[in-house]
Structure 1
Amino acid sequence: MKDSKRLSIMVKKSIANNIKVELSAGAETYWKHIASWYDGNGKWQKLVFDFTNNCDFGDKGYPTELAIYPLIDEGQPTTQEIFVDNIVLEDNPTVNGKSLWQDVADGSLDGKLELTGSYFKTKCMNTDVNPWKEYSIDDFAALNNKLSANVTSIDMRKASTLGVDINKFFEDKNPNTIVYANENYEHANVVVVGADGTGTANSLELTDANAFNAPKGFTAITVKLTRGVQKGINSFVLPFAATAEELGATQVATYDSYDKAAKIANFKTAADVAANTPFLTMDVAEDKVTDVLNFGEKSIVATPESLGTDFVGVYAKTDANGKYGINAEGKLQKGGTDAYVNAFHAYLNVKDPAGVAFNGSTPTAINGVAANNTVNTAVYDLSGRRVYGKLQKGLYIMNGKKVVVK
């Protein structure tokens, strides 16, 4: 127990009471005792014994002996049948190979994370003091403190877990985070990966206010995307295939080429579009304008390194200075100094386009307008959540600046 001071033991018995673990280095040297409560009702239960807070071995070496026994409470039979299995010296919790406790600063974790070691939420008791002292173990709360709002996925399949608090993977962080797990938890964006390597999420809930990245593909039974769809033309990129009908449009249009001499961006129209392909939705009617898009079962495709060159999709808020995006009027607009585009949108990254043509047609009125305006017109509250509809009195963030609505 030089580096790790955690033990886990599988226990099965018929009576609920404390199970005590004693560690020693032989007779007349030293003993340390931790108790954990068994209430498994005759079923196997994983118990954790954490010696971190009461086990300073110092110069006495490391424990060589271990004893396990139940503490018989008043009125309980003095003889009990107890089954013990799978005694494990657990590794300390690590993330991307670094110690969660020692090597990771608060708020520093972002991007794709892989958890290894032990992640527990439970309690145990130091019985070497009177009265006994309770220790709470909550590695999920500790992990939450280390996460930034830019984390995009957490793979916990290689971690040893107990009492998983799935809410701590999302609480006040990125709601678009994808969690890969070996079993299901009652939360959106949790992908259960089976023995065959295929993954399924009961629901996928995304917002364009935060970054998205799926390092591994999976199936989502339902998908909910919070982002505005306006009348006319919208820019999009999605991690799954979609039809124009699903998006409330008559057609979708994908980028084809750019005529540098004529400064015309050429697009091809179609009835549907493949995953991770930047595209435009065409002719969205007034009654199809929405703030939330709902889809049925979708195959989520792993996020590629690139989402286009001239016409670029983004899965994170991106600087749009000098780039062309679709504004609130459905027109192509050049971004100024403070311009940005949100996740699940796209922008045209060419020099001063004169217009856009669809299937070789005459360039349309979807052309450049004045610079120094933002491409994105979204409004957020002070917690970073996107606000839709009529604004109530209060402070909001618009174009990166605080605005007061009276």
Structure 2
Amino acid sequence: MKKFTLVALAMMASASCFAQTTLWNGEDTKITSGEHAGFWGDASPVLADNHETDGINTSAHCLKFVITKGGNNNTVKLPFKDWIKPSMNGSKRVSLMIKKENAENVIVQLSDPTDGSTGYWYNQATWYDGGNKWQKLVFDFTANGDFDKPGVMSITPQAGNIDGDQIVYIDNIVIENAPRINGKLFSEYNAENPISGALTLTGAWMKGSSINVDDKWKNNTYNDFEFFKTQATDGVTSIDMRGTVTKDVDINQFFKNPNTIVYADAAYEHANVVVNGTAASVELTDANAFNAPEDFTATTVKLTRGVQKGINSFVLPFAATAEELGATQVATYDSYDKAAKIANFKTAADVAANTPFLTMDVAEDKKADVLNFGEKTIVATPESLGTDFVGVYAKTNANGKYGINADGKLQKGGEGAYVNAFHAYLNVTDPAAVAFNGSTPTAINGVAADKVADTAVYDLSGRRVYGKLQKGLYIMNGKKVVVK
């Protein structure tokens, strides 16, 4: 993740659609009079060399000025009205790099909408930790009202309790990009248009706080990741955050769906995070939807889903062997004999990724089994997972479809039946039996006489429940059941 990294963009009069707007970077803008007049102020700022380019600020030049304890000349100002005329582009945040000796608040004021002589001033303060090291400070103006084109920026580092003069360095002042999801601002998502599916994040995604000076120095917290979770559904299957600038990533907020795959530029302590094509671990459950838009390698994979003695239906996003699945063989779909009403399968020792298959001769029932796999290549999810024998990576209606019941027979799903993720169903007309390798049907020897619905148990959020049921309300066979 691009933590505390600023792209050195040229000063621009109008930013492209969602491009970050650099207000001042010390490299291509004068600070005195001229075609692009820049800073002025009581603190008499000058352009200086940056003597600490090996940290988060690699710029060659920066702004230098002096502040004094109790002094009245501690402010520098940057006017926009005559030259840059910046637009916030939906953003509410401004950031800057600062380096000085003592820890103290830094106040940033934005005027709206004129040169500051009329209109309003909006004020935010952010704490600087001191140590004479470059730090990036973010000022969030969400609590200060709706405005788009500030006229003047005023920057006042507080002098604190240190006597004498203090040298202050400032650099890389930018309007942070507004966080967007699939190109849309947060305001475009609501209960009628929730966040779901495969997502690409852009802009600056941040967690932090600044102080609203306009409201008795009230703390102003912000957390884009938490807001994301409030609007997201458990149908979010993937998040690509590689095009973002971030601060204090709250990665846990991205996993309302535990199967979500996150593509990032930095590693985080959570399963399902892919960095440079590799995830340390992947953890999946058949109770939620899954989709991988890109291939990647997982060092370990865990899949939670029930298996039964005998035969089970599967589809997996990686290649697997029968041995890994506790079976003697796997079987993939071959053809359907309409005249004989027989579905033909071919047995093998292993199966390719994203191929629906059956496991043969599983030794025992495991209603809440965790299947553990070593290093696997997760293959991007294709549009189709079969035609006659269909794999699913999301809970799917199975009314009229044929699955495998606990007796090892084909069984037609009734009204309210569905198939969970990482399972498969047979989608042909009135099958009588299943045959393997062209032989007489054996392992699955017929079709159950009655249509039955799903026999699994789910909570009211649709999550599958395993083991002994606690008191509460559950969904069984498509109906609500109370356990006392």
The answer for unaligned runs of 5 or more in structure 1 is none
**2:257 alignment counterpart:** 174
Counterpart selection for 1:22 from 95, 99, 109: 109
| Residues 247 and 79 of structure 1: CA distance in aligned 2, closer, same or farther (over 3 Å) | farther
Counterpart selection for 2:233 from 148, 156, 174: 148
**Does the 8 Å CA contact 1:72/1:78 hold for their aligned counterparts?**
no
One-letter code aligned to 1:36: T
**1:97 alignment counterpart:** 183
d(CA) in 2 for partners of 1:238 and 1:108? 28
d(CA) in 2 for partners of 1:21 and 1:153? 37
Report the alpha carbon displacement of residue 42 of structure 1 after superposing the two structures with TM: 4.8
The answer for unaligned runs of 5 or more in structure 2 is 1-86
Q: Deviations over 1:242-298 (max 9, x none)?
A: 111110001101111111121111111111111000000000112877621111111
Q: Deviations over 1:362-405 (max 9, x none)?
A: 1125121134202x332223344322223344332222322223
d(CA) in 1 for partners of 2:429 and 2:373? 36
Instruction: Report 1:241-280 matches (<5 A).
Output: 241-280=319-358
| Residues 287 and 42 of structure 1: CA distance in aligned 2, closer, same or farther (over 3 Å) | farther
Report the alpha carbon displacement of residue 15 of structure 1 after superposing the two structures with TM: 2.9
**2:44 alignment counterpart:** none
**Does the 8 Å CA contact 1:264/1:356 hold for their aligned counterparts?**
yes
**1:238 alignment counterpart:** 316
Q: Deviations over 1:121-145 (max 9, x none)?
A: 111112245x312211121121112
Partner SS, residue 117 of structure 1: strand
| Residues 251 and 98 of structure 1: CA distance in aligned 2, closer, same or farther (over 3 Å) | same
Counterpart selection for 2:427 from 346, 349, 354: 349
2:119 is equivalent to residue 32 of structure 1: no
Report the alpha carbon displacement of residue 55 of structure 1 after superposing the two structures with TM: 5.3
**Does the 8 Å CA contact 2:368/2:467 hold for their aligned counterparts?**
no
| Residues 359 and 62 of structure 1: CA distance in aligned 2, closer, same or farther (over 3 Å) | closer
Counterpart selection for 2:210 from 116, 121, 124: 124
Over the residues paired in the alignment, what is the CA RMSD in angstroms? Answer: 2.2
| Residues 96 and 78 of structure 1: CA distance in aligned 2, closer, same or farther (over 3 Å) | farther
**2:197 alignment counterpart:** 111
One-letter code aligned to 1:98: K
**1:370 alignment counterpart:** 449
2:128 is equivalent to residue 45 of structure 1: no
One-letter code aligned to 1:270: A
Counterpart selection for 1:337 from 415, 419, 422: 415
d(CA) in 2 for partners of 1:49 and 1:110? 30
Q: Deviations over 1:172-222 (max 9, x none)?
A: x31111111111111111112x3xxxx221111111111111111111111
| Residues 296 and 40 of structure 1: CA distance in aligned 2, closer, same or farther (over 3 Å) | farther
| Residues 394 and 105 of structure 1: CA distance in aligned 2, closer, same or farther (over 3 Å) | closer
d(CA) in 2 for partners of 1:373 and 1:289? 19
Percent identity between matched residues is 70
d(CA) in 1 for partners of 2:418 and 2:145? 53
Instruction: Report 1:275-286 matches (<5 A).
Output: 275-286=353-364
2:87 is equivalent to residue 87 of structure 1: no
d(CA) in 2 for partners of 1:244 and 1:40? 60
- Which deviates more, 285-294 or 331-340? 285-294
d(CA) in 1 for partners of 2:460 and 2:282? 25
Partner SS, residue 156 of structure 1: strand
d(CA) in 1 for partners of 2:477 and 2:367? 22
d(CA) in 2 for partners of 1:397 and 1:78? 72
How many residues are paired up? 392
2:373 is equivalent to residue 328 of structure 1: no
**Does the 8 Å CA contact 1:327/1:377 hold for their aligned counterparts?**
no
d(CA) in 1 for partners of 2:226 and 2:163? 39
| Residues 81 and 253 of structure 1: CA distance in aligned 2, closer, same or farther (over 3 Å) | farther
Report the alpha carbon displacement of residue 63 of structure 1 after superposing the two structures with TM: 3.0
